[in-house]
Amino acid sequence: MAQPTPGQSANIRYQADEKPPIALTGGLGIQLAALCIAGVALTPAIVVQAAGGDSTYLIWAVFAAVLVSGVTSIIQAVRIGRIGAGYVLAMGTSGAFIAVCVAALAQGGPAMLATLVVISSLFQFLLAWRLSLLRRILTPTVAGTVIMLIPVTVMPIVFGMLTQTPQDTPAIGAPVSATVTILVICAIALKAKGIFRLWAPVIGIVAGSAVAGFYGLYDVQSVANADWFGLPSAGWPGFDFSFGPVFWGLLPAFVFVTLIGAIETLGDGVAIQRVSWREPRAIDFRSVQGAVGADGLGNFLSGLLGTVPNTTYSSSISVTALTGVGARGVGVALGITFVVVAFIPKALAVILAIPGPVAAAYITVLLALLFVVGMRVVVQDGTDYRKALIVGVAFWVGVGFQNGVIFPDYVRQFAGGLLENGMTAGGLTAILLMLFVELTSSKRRRINTQIELASLSVISEFVEKFARDCGWSKANRERLNRVAEEALLTLVTQDENITDPALARRLQLTVHKEGSNAILEMIAAPGTDNLEDRIAILGERSDDVSVDRDMSLRILHHYASSVHHQQYHETDIITMTVEILADDAQ
């Protein structure tokens, strides 16, 4: 999502750390829950029905999914320790997991699904813990490619639901109800404005279900028989610890999709910060780590309760941007609403009774939009012929393996059929190609030192030698050197209260060429201020003390084309771009 303009930021009525009236908070939480509840409940229903599961487990899986989504939505808002973003991020079941969950249920049963979800969630905790280390591997190019492959793997399952209708009902009912659902959703989404547009999926499902009810496809009796309050009488599947061929064959696919879900959460964690504050500020990647950690906790709880994994819903970002209310209390109200609904079987029965053709039409629209989201992720990262080649090759490799047209006999025998899943095959292809580009790109030179004034001469000599080896002019060498020196001085200023040299933070400086630019990257232990935020407010601070204190920042801002400061729990990463003048670059 693009960074909001100053005008958009000014439209925030209640930012994240403020408390709006209780009525407004509760109303927005309920509204957001109403927008998301259908997707939360339908995904496990689709998985269980597609895998041929029984009704007892289906009811349990939906109950557990809604309950876990409520609990984790609250955790995302309130932030417990390092778990949670501290923003309004709705949690819910993810369509990305449909294909692998159906395979797990069909091949190993609910207990196998539970085991795979629990174990794969541990990798998400690992990613949240060391997110900074994987920033060059799980790139937007890789993530976008895999997101585009999700509909490729799920659509055959969804299209199969178009003909799932009760016996002795008119054959015309399925295509008519599915068509009405899609037409209503698309018409509202294309023509409506503001928050009304967000209700398009809900209105489409209601319209399609009404048409389906006319043909006798909507199971009214199951809704009437459902209790108003209570818990499912049975259905928890337990775990399968046999660790046989089914487990090892499906685990890589689960891990891979889980990590891709984490990348989606990463994007949502960035986007929600951009619409939750009046004044633009640098992205706090500690909050993003918290969002991914809460995502992992949600998957862990989903596995413990034997249901499908969950992830963040981008609709919460759209609602925050449209209403101008980013207060954390909305996320708490949303989560409480989910938890309450989980214990109202009749409310869940209304969703479970939605006919297969209507549900399939709804999921089809969502998956189509998901494909476009994948394209946008790739394009927004910037495309050159290398990235275009990676995306193109990886996507079509994934399509080929998913449809069983690339050496199917060998693929079935390799690693338990690991590559039969298009997301796994295409994702691995994208990662391998990206690693090849990374390993063969311009070599990064690095030096390790400390954040102290004595390091100035060491860094200056290091940067000067790199620039001379590149054949750059004296002017460009001086500009590069000034950027490195002023960045160090800024960090030294942050640590001015440290008097013991032994306590000085360690610093790793890397430098490399990227096109006609030089990229300097400083990696250090976590500090205090964010340099991006300090640069953004330079013009607002005019007293003599501030001007003198910020002199290094002003010089850095003058010579560097861009400065990005990513703050993680375990490290700070400052990336600076220095443009090498075209007439001097070689």
Angle between helices 55-78 and 345-352 (to 10 degrees): 110
Find where tokens 């205090």 sit: 528
Find where tokens 């925050």 sit: 320
Domains and CATH numbers, the chain: 6-134+220-232+239-355 (no CATH), 445-579 (3.30.565.10)
* pLDDT at residue 2, as a whole number: 36
- Provide mean pLDDT across the span 463-486: 88
- Provide mean pLDDT across the span 144-173: 78
pLDDT in tens, 425-444: 888 888 888 888 877 777 88
Q: Which helix (H) or strand (E) holds 574?
A: strand 572-579
* pLDDT at residue 294, as a whole number: 92
Q: Which two tokens stand for residue 529?
A: 């201020």
pLDDT in tens, 208-266: 888 888 888 887 777 777 778 877 877 788 888 888 888 888 888 888 788 777 877 87
Indicate the SS3 state at residue 550.
Answer: coil
User: Cα dist. 328→26, 64, 91, 272, 323 in Å?
Assistant: 11, 24, 14, 11, 14
Indicate the SS3 state at residue 342.
Answer: helix
* pLDDT at residue 358, as a whole number: 84
Residues 6 or more apart whose CB falls under 8 angstroms from that of 187 comprise none
Other beta carbons less than 10 A from residue 264's beta carbon: 25
What's the distance, CA 456 to chain centroid?
A: 39
* pLDDT at residue 12, as a whole number: 77
- Provide mean pLDDT across the span 517-528: 82
Angle at 3 between CA 521 and CA 578, to 5 degrees: 30
Concatenate the DSSP letters of all residues of 201-233 into one string: HHHHHHHHHHHHHHTT-S-HHHHHHS-SS---S
- Provide mean pLDDT across the span 528-532: 66
For CA atoms 327, 333, 335, 337, the dihedral sign is: negative
> Which of 296, 260, 312, 247 lies closest to 426, judged by CA?
260
pLDDT in tens, 171-208: 888 888 889 888 988 888 788 776 677 677 778 888 88
Residues 6 or more apart whose CB falls under 8 angstroms from that of 358 comprise 177, 178, 181, 205, 208, 209, 212, 217
Are 48 and 58 spatial neighbours (Cβ–Cβ below 8 Å)? Answer: yes
pLDDT band at 413 (very low <50, low <70, confident <90, very high): low
* pLDDT at residue 21, as a whole number: 86
Q: How many residues does the chain have?
A: 586
SS (H, E, C) 433-486: HHHHHHHHCCCCEEEEEECCHHHHHHHHHHHHHHHHHCCCCHHHHHHHHHHHHH
* pLDDT at residue 212, as a whole number: 85
Phi, psi of 460 (to 5 degrees): -60, -45
CA distance 33 to 121: 25
Q: Which pTM does this prediction carry?
A: 0.73
pLDDT in tens, 99-119: 788 888 988 889 999 999 999
Residue 404: pLDDT over 70: yes
pLDDT higher at 15 or 323:
15
User: Cα dist. 470→463, 575, 585 in Å?
Assistant: 11, 20, 8
